[in-house]
């Protein structure tokens, strides 16, 4: 065993398995940062957590959320067709009745749930198509209220179309002036393909001038001819935004022909575009106009692994990276990871590996932010009587 220097740590997590498979690891934290990651390190600390051979991960990253519409299911009514277009219509019906306090309180509740699940970095789009920017003001307040627990990044999102909604140019600029972090867009919802392309050009120019990141809803459609992603790639290169642009949803790609995609993918790579294959929503929204076979949108890690045929060992590990390190990279978050010098942001899961973390969607035994425990969940071990034996169930194969 090695021994750390004599200085007391704030928090030490012992006997942890790391996402790369290293086991018996000790993570020592001081002043909000990871000071040391070593096998079997013995160290004095204000608080010690024995991970008992369970997985410790950096926090989960939700790279695409809409916190202004969180927890509004059924308001003012349920989406009958299940389509994106009815969803946008429903949101337009709800918008006039929203209040600052209601948006803030629902978002805070959602943040509470996120902390409990170890999701400590969230990028949320916020609708700027409102003359009073009610949601923007509410979410800026939320960003400040949760800053010690969650890194909340906001995207100025012109839900009703940057060119289609008459005041969007003014309100989007005002939102950025107020401190919204990222420039959004929705080219496939503009009236024409030409308007969609024009909106991308103008929004990328705003981002370039203000030195901001870009994250556009792009081609969230089943239409294989919705090709705004190629325009976004071109503008990224033309306006010098390499590595700073994200394209969200991109579901039209499931319907594009192979030849076109073989041209498109190198364009995206050249521009360093991040693709956010989107949350649960696209498995629900896509293919609503199809008979059979029905196309499907892409999804979060557990389901995406199955839906996307990502079942090889390396592919499952890559999927865990998608909801951790890749998300942090896309959001340009510094100090993320499990090395000395990184933020002391950790999630202890009741799982022995990253593959089990996806398979079991396990309890988050402890969630740590800047070296401080901000959520704890007791582990769950059902006790089952079967074939004359009563035993605790771990949901893991027993070693022989």
Catalytic residues: 220
What are the backbone angles phi and psi of residue 285, rounded to the nearest 5°? -80, -35
Quote the CA–CA distance of 337 and 345 in Å, as a whole number: 8
Q: How far is CA 366 from the centre of its chain?
A: 20
| Nearest alpha carbon to residue 164 among 174, 176, 172 | 172
d(CA 202, CA 220): 20
Distance CA 253, CA 125 (A): 22
Residue 304 backbone dihedrals phi, psi, to 5 degrees:
-60, -35
Q: Strands (DSSP E) along 93-173, which ranges?
A: 119-127, 151-157
What tokens appear for 172 in the block? 């989007």
E strands, the chain, in order: 9-16, 25-30, 33-39, 45-50, 55-57, 60-65, 119-127, 151-157, 182-183, 213-218, 245-249, 274-276, 346-349, 364-369, 372-376, 383-386, 389-392
What six digits make up the tokens of 154?
Answer: 């906001």
Give the residue from 125, 5, 11 showing the smallest Cα distance to 369: 11
Least Cα distance to 320 among 351, 282, 281 occurs for: 351
C-alpha torsion angle, residues 93, 216, 332, 13 (rounded to 10): 50
Q: Which residues contact 178 (CB under 8 A, 6 or more apart)?
A: 133, 136, 137, 140
What's the CA gap between 168 and 180, in Å, rounded? Answer: 15
Nearest to 188 by CA among 59, 85, 281: 85
């Amino acid at each position: 065993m090695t021994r750390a220097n004599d200085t007391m740590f704030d928090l030490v997590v012992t006997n942890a398995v790391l996402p790369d498979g290293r086991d018996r690891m000790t993570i020592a934290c001081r002043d909000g940062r990871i000071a040391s990651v070593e096998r079997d390190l013995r160290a004095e600390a204000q608080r010690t957590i024995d991970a008992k051979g369970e997985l410790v991960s950096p926090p989960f990253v939700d790279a695409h959320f809409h916190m202004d519409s969180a927890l509004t299911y059924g308001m003012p009514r349920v989406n009958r067709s299940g389509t994106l277009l009815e969803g946008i219509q429903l949101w337009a019906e709800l918008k006039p009745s929203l209040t600052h306090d209601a948006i803030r309180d629902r978002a805070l509740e959602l943040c509470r749930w996120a902390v409990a699940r170890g999701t400590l970095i969230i990028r949320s789009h916020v609708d700027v198509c409102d003359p009073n920017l009610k949601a923007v003001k509410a979410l800026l307040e939320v960003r400040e209220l949760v800053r010690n627990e969650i890194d909340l990044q906001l995207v100025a999102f012109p839900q009703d179309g940057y060119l289609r909604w008459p005041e969007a140019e003014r309100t989007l600029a005002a939102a950025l002036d107020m401190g919204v972090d990222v420039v959004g867009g929705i080219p496939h919802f503009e009236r024409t393909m030409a308007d969609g392309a024009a909106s991308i050009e103008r929004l990328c120019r705003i981002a370039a001038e203000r030195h901001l990141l870009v994250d556009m809803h792009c081609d969230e459609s089943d239409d294989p001819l919705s090709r705004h992603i190629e325009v976004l790639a071109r503008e990224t290169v033309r306006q010098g935004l390499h590595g700073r642009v994200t394209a969200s949803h991109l579901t039209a790609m499931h319907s594009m022909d192979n030849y076109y995609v073989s041209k498109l993918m190198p364009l995206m790579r050249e521009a360093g575009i991040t693709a956010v294959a989107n949350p649960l929503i696209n498995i629900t929204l896509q293919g609503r106009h199809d008979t059979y076979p029905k196309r499907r949108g892409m999804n979060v890690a557990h389901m995406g692994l199955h839906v996307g045929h990502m079942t090889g060992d390396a592919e499952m590990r890559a999927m865990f990276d998608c909801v951790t390190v890749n998300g942090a990279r896309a959001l340009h978050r510094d100090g993320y990871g499990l090395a000395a010098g990184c933020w002391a942001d950790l999630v202890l899961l009741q799982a022995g590996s990253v593959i089990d973390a996806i398979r079991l969607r396990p309890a988050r035994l402890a969630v740590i932010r800047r070296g401080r425990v901000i959520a704890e969940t007791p582990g769950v071990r059902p006790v089952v009587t079967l074939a004359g034996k009563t035993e605790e169930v771990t949901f893991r194969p027993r070693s022989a």
